[in-house]
Structure 1
Amino acid sequence: MTAVTNAPGQGFPAPPEPGLTPNEVLDRAEAIAPTLVGLQAETEQRTHYSRQTHEEFARAGFYRLLVPRRYGGYEFGIDTFMRVVTTLARGCPSTAWMYCLGATHAIAAATLFGEEAQAEIFRDGDFICPATIVPSGSAVPAADGGWVLNGTWNYCSGAPYATHFIGHAMVQGGDGPPAPMLFVAPRDQWRLLDDWGRQLGLKGSGSHSVTVENGRIPASFALPGTHLSEATVADGTPGRELHGNPQYGGGPLSYMVLEIASLAVGIAQGALDVYGDLMRSRRTLLPPVVGRAEDPDYQFWYAEAAGMIAAAEAGVQGAIRQWQELCELGPEGFTREQDLRITTICRHTIRLCWTAVESYLFPTAGSSSVRQGERLERVWRDMSMLHSHAGFAVFLPTVANREFTRVHFTAP
């Protein structure tokens, strides 16, 4: 789907494996995912995946999937990236969450920032950049035209191995109220706090806080008046023009929700895998005592959950395809209404995944299968944490729903 225009040989650096294909990347993810299952306990205890896993991801090219070709990335489509995310989540939700929310923001950086900033941001090829959308701290103009940042930002998933951080700071605007400013800060301008791992789930997702004390960034690294979830692309974007790739002109809000929906599908698939093993290995408690796979009740529960998860997967894939098709239409195609419509699809796919796990798989698996440290118990905790995410639980069903309806019924 993605049309790569900035190919090697046109003055741009080649990625480590110039001939790497999306299918080869997906094969690597399929091979890595099962190995993550046995590492889940230590990943939770560490609060992030290991240096060894990080290096394996780097060798596999995972941190360059969405980086523009111009800067030595692979510039693959978001469909490839989201399938990698779903595959990894099937093995270890925490690992996939940390990877996804670290590597995914190459899209935002390559879409919204100008050429001067991108040349510096992507200069090392691998790009790992957590982002938060809740404004915090402050930004003050510096004498050299840049900005001085101060503040602490929470829930920065992907921070332990990050090269950058994207956040929003408040800027005092004359006599008016402060306004948010989107910024990107290099790793040497912020400090990681040791404050993650005591939450209910996703304990190994590396969602630590980031603090900045008199950090300095150049003017090109800041977009005053811009908020990532509200940014419009209807007038075009720097990335679409710079890279000649429609992918760097898509709606930021719907893209962010596609990430969570892709994670939810993979996590639910992992739960179904566990339940399938129990169907083959366990027997019913009540007579007639038979294997669970032969029991009508277990057959029903498995099929209900499997159907919901398959429907969710189809929904996410359809939403990804719609996102890409809207990008292809040009700036005028990706209206705010279309951006919000895709978020509604994703919200319902996430809900399907949660219902499959919470209503069918978890309660009927048996108490021995949901003891602390069991894979299904961990999946339930992780999905509970996802389900309590403020964006999914509060913003999407309220603010986003209302805005979608409002713009739909408002004349152009």
Structure 2
Amino acid sequence: MAHEVVQRVEEFGPELAGLAEENEKLGKLSDRTVELLKSAGVIRLLQPKEYGGYTAHPSEFAEAVMAVARHDGAAGWVCGVVGVHPWELAQMDPRLAQEVWGENPDSWIASPYMPNGVANPVEGGGYTLSGRWPFSSGSDHCDWDFLGALLGDGKGKPVMPPTVMHVVLPRSDYSIIDDSWDVVGLRGTGSKDVVVENAFLPEYRTIEQSDVQAGAAAERVGLTETLYKLPFAAMFPLGITSAVIGMCEGALALHLDQQRERVAVTGVQVKDDPYVLYSAGEAASEIAASRVQLIDGISRLYDKVESGQEVTIEDRSNVRRNQVRCAWRAVSALDEIIARSGGNAFRRSNPLQRYWRDAHAGLNHMIHVPGVAYHANALAAMGLELPPAMQILI
């Protein structure tokens, strides 16, 4: 059962936490961290059962990502990003699933979905692709990569209006740029650049983003499970926001543990300082609220799809609005407790500073930018039409 995944994560938790510093120094996840994550089965939660997955409820996926991120933010981030790809791959041509998982159900897929390349149609079918994509999280441990691309006109130019495609390439068709991930937050994710030079893409390894967004892709390949009918713009951010919330939960637990015996410069034990404890209590409530709201949003959407009701633009924009707010609320609470953790919180030997850096880096992902999400939600709530560019991540 899917809940066993979280149990295994908790069993491995102390070792995951102990490996976090090594991951940061490596600039990618260690082989042992990946071994533990594969053993727990986190990445297979949204994978079809016929390929060794769980076809789990998305809330269970979110819970598992949070559990990993509580111990190591970078590992949680990779689980949140890489873990959603089996959900999309299941909606593509079954030949691709067989290629990816036929011999190894633990084969991972990385991604940068930003459409940084043009997929040019070629005579006889398929496309050629070239480009450079940053932020391919976990790429060192992945055998395939999901890349965003614009449909081309056959002459190297994108067609207008633009059509966003997601394309899947094997490891042999792209290069990972090792020195492209020099950062101060989420360093352990190894979110390096990947480069493609005139790779050939068979048609069956491509899909239009709009088909995944609307649920048409799942219907086309005969998927009946509710999980695969959910909109892309709700599922793609889910793991990322879950990772950020999990980081904040981990930081809160560590803060409380460190304050238990701490004595302030005034000679007062922190456990007797009402101001510090007030902030800790308030932060705990804010982080818990973020967790509840995130899971509530995806669960409501799941229930609506399962009951056969139409998922409206307003429904989708409500979920996106709340995902963004969950992340910002949790990180704001983290800032409050870090400000009351004392100077030792910023020693490199103290994991608190790593949680803080990782969470803020996660907040800078495009899915957490509040402007468009809030603007779109207000328009949808008023029954007004959203501009096409605003609908991409709604």
The alignment's TM-score, normalised by the length of structure 1, stands at 0.86
> Which residue number corresponds to residue 380 of structure 2?
407
Deviates more, 1:299-308 or 1:316-325: 316-325
3-state SS of 1:170 partner: strand
Query: Post-superposition shift, 1:241?
Result: 5.6
Decide which of 156, 180, 183 is 2:164's aligned counterpart. Answer: 180
Q: Take 1:196 and 1:86, find their aligned partners in 2: how far apart are those partners?
A: 27
The 3 A distance-change label for structure 1 pair 400 and 352 is closer
Q: Is the 8 A contact 1:265 1:313 kept in 2?
A: yes
Q: Is the 8 A contact 1:250 1:326 kept in 2?
A: no
Deviates more, 1:399-408 or 1:189-198: 399-408
Are residue 339 (structure 1) and residue 316 (structure 2) matched?
yes
Query: Post-superposition shift, 1:29?
Result: 0.7
Query: Post-superposition shift, 1:58?
Result: 2.0
Are residue 391 (structure 1) and residue 378 (structure 2) matched?
no
Q: How many matched pairs?
A: 380
Q: Is the 8 A contact 1:140 1:171 kept in 2?
A: yes
Query: Post-superposition shift, 1:240?
Result: 7.8
Deviates more, 1:151-160 or 1:313-322: 313-322
Are residue 325 (structure 1) and residue 307 (structure 2) matched?
no
Decide which of 268, 277, 287 is 1:309's aligned counterpart. Answer: 287
Output the amino acid matched with 2:380. V
Are residue 133 (structure 1) and residue 113 (structure 2) matched?
yes
> Which residue number corresponds to residue 388 of structure 2?
none
The 3 A distance-change label for structure 1 pair 367 and 23 is same
Listed as ranges, the gaps of 5+ residues in structure 2 are 386-394
Query: Post-superposition shift, 1:407?
Result: 3.4
The 3 A distance-change label for structure 1 pair 322 and 240 is farther
Listed as ranges, the gaps of 5+ residues in structure 1 are 1-20
Decide which of 206, 222, 232 is 1:252's aligned counterpart. Answer: 232
Q: Take 1:167 and 1:404, find their aligned partners in 2: how far apart are those partners?
A: 28
The 3 A distance-change label for structure 1 pair 240 and 343 is farther
Decide which of 209, 232, 236 is 2:213's aligned counterpart. Answer: 232
Are residue 117 (structure 1) and residue 101 (structure 2) matched?
no
> Which residue number corresponds to residue 325 of structure 2?
348
Q: Take 1:34 and 1:354, find their aligned partners in 2: how far apart are those partners?
A: 23
Q: Take 1:373 and 1:206, find their aligned partners in 2: how far apart are those partners?
A: 21
> Which residue number corresponds to residue 18 of structure 1?
none
Provide, for residues 19-57 of structure 1, a one-character-per-residue CA deviation record: whole Å limited to 9, x for no partner: xx2232111011122212222221011111111221222
> Which residue number corresponds to residue 157 of structure 1?
137
Q: Is the 8 A contact 2:180 2:192 kept in 1?
A: yes
Identity level (%):
26
Which stretches of structure 1, 4 residues or longer, exceed 4 Å deviation after superposition? none
The 3 A distance-change label for structure 1 pair 196 and 83 is farther
Decide which of 60, 64, 67 is 2:44's aligned counterpart. Answer: 64
Q: Take 1:165 and 1:411, find their aligned partners in 2: how far apart are those partners?
A: 37
Q: Is the 8 A contact 1:340 1:400 kept in 2?
A: yes
Q: Take 2:42 and 2:118, find their aligned partners in 1: how far apart are those partners?
A: 33
3-state SS of 2:264 partner: coil
> Which residue number corresponds to residue 363 of structure 1?
339
Q: Is the 8 A contact 1:284 1:290 kept in 2?
A: yes
The 3 A distance-change label for structure 1 pair 294 and 240 is farther
The 3 A distance-change label for structure 1 pair 46 and 196 is farther
Q: Take 1:120 and 1:404, find their aligned partners in 2: how far apart are those partners?
A: 39
Q: Take 1:93 and 1:44, find their aligned partners in 2: how far apart are those partners?
A: 10
Deviates more, 1:317-326 or 1:169-178: 169-178
3-state SS of 2:7 partner: helix
Query: Post-superposition shift, 1:185?
Result: 1.3
> Which residue number corresponds to residue 3 of structure 1?
none
Are residue 195 (structure 1) and residue 174 (structure 2) matched?
no
Q: Take 1:56 and 1:196, find their aligned partners in 2: how far apart are those partners?
A: 26
Are residue 50 (structure 1) and residue 30 (structure 2) matched?
yes
Query: Post-superposition shift, 1:300?
Result: 0.7
Query: Post-superposition shift, 1:115?
Result: 3.1
> Which residue number corresponds to residue 8 of structure 1?
none
Decide which of 335, 356, 367 is 1:380's aligned counterpart. Answer: 356
